[in-house]
Amino acid sequence: MVKSELGHVGYFDRESCDLDEFKVLTSQNLTAGDVPHAAGIEKNVPLYDMESLRPALEDPERRRALLAEWGRVFRSSAGVIALKRAYADTSVIDRASEIFRRIIVEERESAAGKGDHFAAAGANDRIWNSLQKQCVKDPEGFALYFGNASLAAAAEAWLGPNYQMTAQVNQVRPGGKAQTAHRDYHLGFMSAEEAMRYPAHAHEVTATLTLQGAVAHVDMAVESGPTKLLPFSQLYGPGYVAFHDEGFRDWFEEAHVQVPLEKGDAVFFNPAVFHAGGENRTADVERLVNLLQVSSAFGRSLEAVDRRTMAQALLPELVKLKQGGAMGVTDLDAAIAACAEGYPFPTNLDTDPPVGGLAPPSMAAFMRQALQEGWTAAQFARTLADQQARQAA
Ligand SMILES: [Fe+2]
């Protein structure tokens, strides 16, 4: 560890990693007083009952208090939250599962979508960029699935508004092996040597740029292998170097927790929490989860997503759902946030100057306006094409 005179850690290296320190840090206990909105705590994971908390998401003051609590848990407490009944209506989940299974079959037949960065090929099925694929295949289903105030609230609690949603489906079949302990994107997707090239403060920042989530598409008992998590491990400074170390991995295997989930539940965690997909020890459960990786407006997201195509597919469905009264404002806004680019940068300031403000309008701003004013599909398509031309010019 290279320290400056002021005690500032300049860079992490292998000597920075102190297993005893890590053990103490991750042996803490979460108490009810730390999470007043939670309905309970299971193995250091606070459980939030979204059925009873959903009205709070409609009330600005109560929403802010809840989001502040979640932000605190992600940053300086357990690092993980479980949202029970994040979906009031699980038929929305079943509809998405159906689409995902169709995509899996199609991709298997076309031999696309090969390669999973953790599992041996064949033990599981992955759909990369399930976000865009679902949206294009079933835009109404996408609207109902991502028009979910609970998911939006979790993302916003950690990243603020204008986050970039991405999603990847993982289906682990019986016998599918566990992953090894790791942290996630950004620095979690690098070797220890690469990570060590970034200064210590960048290690701290990286965890604030993404949020990991998972939506349970089936009931997931512990035997089916819900994500293994080590609460409080995000607090460990040199963790992006340490998770590559065998001693730390052994401790993870000893001390991790697994929380069973029901269909329609979701978990979210700080990407710096040590975690690993669990082993599916059941004989017959195909563990289907949609992994959400949400990026800050200020960061680069992992996947390239064609949000313009998605937005054009989604808008007509949102218009119908709004007119039919099937979705309220909060849920409509959540669907837009999951689909459209919420941030107006990077852009070309010669051709796309800010007008009447500090920033030009974002794609999401146009989409909200289109929904409010009842634009035609052609009008919306033209607006987005013009915007893209200005941004890329
Ligand atoms: Fe991961």
Distances (CA, A) of 85 to 7, 242, 334: 46, 35, 17
Sign of the C-alpha dihedral computed for residues 5, 6, 8 and 14 taken in this order: positive
Q: Count CA within 13 A, CB hemisphere, residue 213.
A: 29
Distance in Å, CA 353 to ligand 1 centroid: 39
Output the pLDDT for position 115.
54
Map residue 249 onto helix, strand or coil: helix
Output the pLDDT for position 3.
55
Q: What is the pLDDT of residues 168-219, one digit of tens each?
A: 999 999 999 999 999 999 999 999 999 999 999 999 999 999 999 999 999 9
Output the pLDDT for position 32.
97
pTM of the model: 0.95
Distance in Å, CA 351 to ligand 1 centroid: 39
* Radius of gyration, alpha carbons of the chain: 21
Distance in Å, CA 181 to ligand 1 centroid: 8
Output the pLDDT for position 1.
55
Residues in the chain, pLDDT under 70: 1-8, 112-122
Output the pLDDT for position 170.
95
Distance in Å, CA 182 to ligand 1 centroid: 6
Distance in Å, CA 227 to ligand 1 centroid: 9
Distance in Å, CA 118 to ligand 1 centroid: 9
d(CA 70, CA 209): 16
Number of CB atoms found within 10 A of residue 302's CB: 18
Distance in Å, CA 66 to ligand 1 centroid: 26
Q: Let me know: does 265 contact 219? Beta carbons within 8 Å.
A: no
Distance in Å, CA 133 to ligand 1 centroid: 21
DSSP state for residue 181 in the 8-state scheme = P
